[in-house]
Amino acid sequence: MHKVSILIPNFNKSKYLIETLTSIRCQSYIDWECIIVDDWSTDDSWNIISLFSRLDSRFKTFKRPDSVPKGGNSCRNFALQMSSGDLVNWFDSDDLMDIDMIKYKVEAFSINQNADIVFGDCRLLNTNNNESYIDSSHYLELDLKKYISLIGKIWIPTPVPMFRRDFLNANDLDFDETLKKGQESEFFNRVLLCSPKVIFEKTSLFFWRLDDNASLTNRFKGLSKSTKYKEMLPYYFKIYSNFRGHALLVESVKTYFRNEFYRALVYIDIRSSSFWLVLAFVFRNGLSPGILSLFKIVPLKVHYLIKNNQSKKH
């Protein structure tokens, strides 16, 4: 029988925690542990988490140690270190599990002994807990070629996959604690570049709450293009570094990054250190769009600067 480790980072999600943890406690599959790492919440989270650990010994609670950097990625990694199951499923403290979510994934692993990952499916939840369908075809039909063609366009929700721990350990896979944007996308980029054996189990469902995620998305949409690119630069640098030296660093991938870095050079102020970081990275990795294209940046930057100043006046 497989033991499943459910790994949850938490920060100030007390209004959702009771519902989330109850959905875990009610799982039809019973051989699991739930490792919850609280990032020093300032709401009632710790009291709720502690209550569940007293009610059910399968819940194991930790506060993020001072020696571990603050953030969801660090808490996810610390939870992995504290866990013992041979199967691993990260989860979020505001989402909900269907009663058979764990059972169906475990059964898929039992049937497919060589599987590294089992992907489930998800539904969206709005503020009133109304369920809606999400098109998951971009990962339910996932293969490496399709992934490469969609780089920069697909995003896999963290709770969707369940991993075999041996696969994570063999490939030294955990979350990058230095990234503030695109952490999940970067993690799954490294996962898929390891060419895992993936099984899809659409009957395994979780319900994805978008309230807080939507507010973060709206904040990002409201930023200037210059600020957006500056915030995303560590992500782009890391993703390209993941591909470097890999057989899947094909011309279409290089073209994608060449275009993204070219746009960054257009929108980021030339006086910013970020501009020169991009320029150095581009030349160091042979991603220069060409001398003529670089010369075109100057009038484009002037046009963008004028347009930006005009919008500020209004």
pTM over 0.85: yes
Chain position carrying tokens 């991993």: 163
Maximum average pLDDT range among 105-109, 150-154, 274-278: 105-109
Counting every residue, how long is the chain? 314
Separation between Cα atoms, residue 258 and residue 236, nearest integer Å: 11
Q: Which residues pair with 132 in a beta bridge?
A: 124
Q: Which two tokens stand for residue 235?
A: 């992500």
Joined together, the tokens standing for residue 216 give 């973060």
Q: What integer pLDDT is reported at residue 292 of this predicted model?
A: 44
In single-letter form, the type of residue at position 12 comes to N
Gap between the Cα atoms of 258 and 282, Å rounded: 8
Q: 4-216: which CATH number, 3.90.550.10, 2.40.50.140, 2.60.40.420, 3.90.45.10?
A: 3.90.550.10
pLDDT at 218 over 80: no
For Cα atoms 288, 294, 299, give the angle at the middle one, nearest 5 degrees.
Answer: 155
3-state secondary structure of 170: helix
Asked whether residue 299 carries a pLDDT value surpassing 60, the answer given is no
Rounded distance between C-alpha atoms, residue 35 and residue 46, angstroms = 13
In angstroms, the CA 116 to CA 162 distance is: 9
Mean pLDDT of 2-6: 98
- Other Cβ atoms less than 10 A from the Cβ of 149: the count is 13
- The more confidently predicted of residues 188 and 307 is 188
Tokens describing residue 24: 């875990």
pLDDT digits (tens, 9 = 90+) for 252-295: 888 889 989 988 988 898 889 999 999 899 989 988 766 445 55
- Nearest Cα neighbor of 191 from 209, 213, 173, 177 is 173
Statement: residue 35 has pLDDT above 50: yes
Residues 174 and 177: their CA atoms lie apart, in Å, by 9
Q: How far apart (Å, rounded) are the C-alpha atoms in residues 122 and 204?
A: 8
Q: CB–CB of 238/179 below 8 Å?
A: yes
CA dist 233 and 265 (Å) reads: 11
User: In the chain, which residues fall in CATH 3.90.550.10?
Assistant: 4-216
- How does residue 251 score in pLDDT terms, banded at 50, 70 and 90? confident
Phi, psi angle pair for 141, to nearest 5°: -115, 30
Average of per-residue pLDDT values in the chain: 86
Two structure tokens written together for 283: 């030349």
For residue 159, what are the CA distances in angstroms to 92, 162, 232, 274, 306? 7, 8, 23, 33, 44
CB neighbours of 254 closer than 8 A, spacing ≥ 6?
287
Q: Which of 102, 108, 103 has the alpha carbon at shortest distance from 89?
A: 102
Tens of pLDDT, residues 56-87: 999 999 999 999 999 999 999 999 999 999 99
Looking at residue 125, its pLDDT comes to 81
273, two tokens: 């250190």
